Chains A and B, each alone.
Chain A
Amino acid sequence: SQTIHQWPATLVQPVGSPLSLECTVEGTSNPNLYWYRQAAGRGLQLLFYSVGIGQISSEVPQNLSASRPQDRQFILSSKKLLLSDSGFYLCASRLAGLQYFGPGTRLTVT
């Protein structure tokens, strides 16, 4: 089975500051990885997905970016945060055709 780690667990950042959220996966190799954002009352919104190192697909145009420097590492970044970037960020990994989620990072932009 796989284990998905995310850090930090919570983060409070001022508007205009940079962002880096990290996701790492144990127990599998070459997984498809996903970044989602969950806002209240809006369900989960797919932001990015990756099928391999250096391969990133963006689903929603915004001021966020993603990178995959290693097989089991997925990073979500921003150069300048907006208030609207607040939310619960979830990393997911696909195993045997099914998506499993990490514990999430709660981001508050003030």
Chain B
Amino acid sequence: QKEVEQDPGPLSVPEGAIVSLNCTYSNSAFQYFMWYRQYSRKGPELLMYTYSSGNKEDGRFTAQVDKSSKYISLFIRDSQPSDSATYLCALGRNTGTASKLTFGTGTRLQVTL
């Protein structure tokens, strides 16, 4: 079983829709939770991060963490064609002197006009 599971998609939605992207994980040692957005042939860019259970909102984006269920989500409101990208969840823990991230495989999102 992978430590982090993420549906690869692709997920196709019309412009203006609410998008829900999800990851589940098995290791309760993860301490912080991130979402990265990656456009084709580019490096991932950090979109959202949170250290605790609950919701964190930033503009059209909301990150949600449920540590008891080992489940994290990213919601995108009023989706735009420019949101078309691959979204990667990343879960982190500090190990000795370094922090390490474990990534999901990514969900490819296509927002259509």
Q: Could you tell me the distance in whole angstroms from the C-beta of A86 to the nearest C-beta in chain B?
A: 14
Total number of A residues with any Cβ neighbor in B under 8 Å = 22
Task: Check A51 against B106 for contact (C-beta < 8 Å).
Answer: no
Known: A100-B46, A101-B44. A46 touches B97 (CB 8 A): no
In chain B, residues 8-45, which have Cβ atoms closer than 8 Å to a Cβ of chain A?
Answer: 8, 32, 34, 36, 41-45
Task: Check B42 against A51 for contact (C-beta < 8 Å).
Answer: no
Task: Check A44 against B103 for contact (C-beta < 8 Å).
Answer: yes
Q: Could you tell me the distance in whole angstroms from the C-beta of B86 to the nearest C-beta in chain A?
A: 10
User: What size tier do the contact residues of chain B reach?
Assistant: 20 to 34
B99 in the interface, Cβ–Cβ < 8 Å?
Answer: yes
Given contacts A44-B101, A51-B97, 18 further A-B contacts (CB under 8 A): A32-B97, A41-B105, A43-B88, A44-B103, A49-B98, A51-B98, A57-B98, A90-B43, A97-B99, A99-B90, A99-B99, A99-B101, A101-B43, A101-B44, A101-B45, A104-B41, A104-B42, A106-B41
